[in-house]
Amino acid sequence: MKRKTLYVFGNEHLEGDKLAREVASSLRGFTVVHCRSPDELLGAEGDILILDVVKGIRKPMVIGDVSQLKTRKMMSLHDFDVGYFLTLMDGMGMGKKVKIVGIPQQGEKGKLAREVLALVG
């Protein structure tokens, strides 16, 4: 059985953005790819499964529709975030099914890892 690939985003140096990387280290049964840039998704084979921190949620959730993502106007290339990139890929008809597991900005990583597994395990 082929292991699922989990693309993990977040900046390990920012308190409100690093938890996805920490939770990913507790997950078993996945091939984990720590992404620095959304363009790393271009080489993804098959469906795309993403783990990232989502501001304003209290428990892990699955976002299966890219149009649900809040994108902001780009002011510079620095603002080229994952949500904008996925919307762009969708608009270009790249034909990839995307599932995002969003986790809160804070929480106990072991508990969050168990909840993530329950959602996509």
**How far apart (Å, rounded) are the C-alpha atoms in residues 65 and 1?**
27
Residue 60 in contact with residue 33, Cβ under 8 Å? no
**pLDDT, position 97:** 79
| Full set of structural domains in the chain with CATH | 4-120 (3.40.50.1450)
Residue 20 in contact with residue 53, Cβ under 8 Å? yes
Select from 56, 64, 38 the least CA-distant residue to 103. 56
Lookup: tokens for 61 = 């959730």
- What is the pTM assigned to this prediction? 0.80
**How far apart (Å, rounded) are the C-alpha atoms in residues 106 and 54?**
10
Task: State the amino acid at position 33 in one-letter form.
Answer: V
If you compute the radius of gyration of the chain from its CA atoms, what whole number of angstroms results? 14
Q: Is the pLDDT of residue 77 over 50?
A: no
**pLDDT, position 91:** 59
Q: pLDDT for 9-28, tens place per residue?
A: 888 888 878 899 999 999 98
**pLDDT, position 79:** 40
Q: pLDDT for 39-75, tens place per residue?
A: 888 778 888 898 988 888 899 999 876 666 555 443 3
